[in-house]
Amino acid sequence: MTYLDHAATTPVLPEVIAAISQAMTLTGNASSLHTSGRAARRRIEESREAIAAALGARPSEVVFTSGGTESDNLAVAGIYRARVAADPRRHRIIAPAIEHHAVLDVIEHLVADAGAAVTWLEVDDFGRVHADTLAAAIAENPADVALVTVMWANNEVGTVNPIRELAAVAHTQGIPFHTDAVQAIGQVPVDFARSGVDAVTVTGHKIGGPVGVGALLVRRDTPVAPIMFGGGQERSIRSGTLDKAGIIGLAVAVQDAVAHRAERAVAHAALRDELIRAVTAQVPDVLLSGDPGAGLMDGGPSRLPGNAHLRFPGCEGDSLLMLLDAAGIECSTGSACTAGVARPSHVLLAMGLPEPDARASLRFTFGHTSTIDDVTAVAQAIGPAVQRSRRAALAGARRR
């Protein structure tokens, strides 16, 4: 199979597998005081220090979680509840509608069950949030804003946001700023201290690490109410027995992603551009969604190097995906967390695209195992697949 769905999950790095396998032979709960417990705690703290160093954070700012969804929930719900507890007037959340559902759905939950209000930020045609848009949203009533959350890079179309600038706008009014950096780490420079943000979501399985482990980088002076209760681990922000093996694997993956980011970015961008060229040669009316990728954003590319999000007019993305899958090519129509849901991409709709265009898209994403052979496979299969998909869509329209 040709695997081009690295934005959904990446193959686990051999070094990570080796580290996890060795860690799983060790006994000891990191909360225990005996020798094995202290040894487990030491390994976890060494991993915490490694992750902090790689991402520009202090070790005390790294809170371990079960992954991106929990980190997003903890950041949004935790900061919201802490802010409301301190000042009940602060009940408004500001976010763009292009966020991952791990953010969107917790916001909707807070609106329904916790009295939150939400201001949805408009995005431009590339899916980017601009600082003046955020400033205008805050200016409606700065005193009622609990937090702002804007993803570092969009998981579907690959557009990178001006996170430092957006965080600075929020901080002019003393408002905490959270960003989901799940797609950004390993593809663009991510430095927690330099970014100025208050909380950053991290997960392992997008960078060659294990599924089921992640972290929330959160400043010590940012109030966060826990959403899980128990033993008081992780600064009492996130209770639960720590996954020693998973955390060790996460540290190896984060270090690898940061160490090889620059060289992989060049390689992945070259593969992405060649894929776009090759697909365009076979399907001349194909359209690229998101930032073209020629600019810079916060010292890195304005589009994720490994992302090619393409729209095929006259096709249904789901049928085109299955035709490519039958040809041995694995890609996606968008976020894997909404796979199988028969609705158009909320990201593309928020960018102003009509529903037929939003349904006619495929996302190809590259990772550490990708090669030029993957591009060649797509180039050979895409033309016939598009033709079949268009014929099927036309036949379906006639039947209706």
Determine the Cα–Cα distance for residues 298 and 1; give it in Å rounded to an integer: 36
Q: Is 133:122 a contact under the CB 8 Å cutoff?
A: yes
Q: With CA atoms as reference, report the closest residue to 364 among 381, 349, 342, 346.
A: 381
- Residues near 190 by beta carbon (within 8 Å), at least 6 away in sequence: 55, 56, 152, 181, 184, 200, 258
- Three-class DSSP category at 367: coil
Cβ neighbourhood burial of 395 (10 Å; 0-12, 13-18, 19+): exposed
Active-site residue flag, 337: yes
Return the structure tokens found at 324.
Answer: 């490519």
What is the maximal distance between C-alpha atoms in the chain? 72
Which tokens in the block code for residue 124?
A: 């431009």
- Give the DSSP H or E segment for 145: strand 145-149
Catalytic residue among 337, 349, 379, 392: 337
* φ, ψ (nearest 5 deg) of residue 202: -130, 145
67/72 Cα distance (integer angstroms): 9
Do 127 and 290 contact (CB within 8 A), yes or no?
yes
378, 364 in Cβ contact below 8 A? yes
Answer for the pair 306, 187: CB distance below 8 angstroms, yes or no.
yes
* Residues involved in catalysis: 337
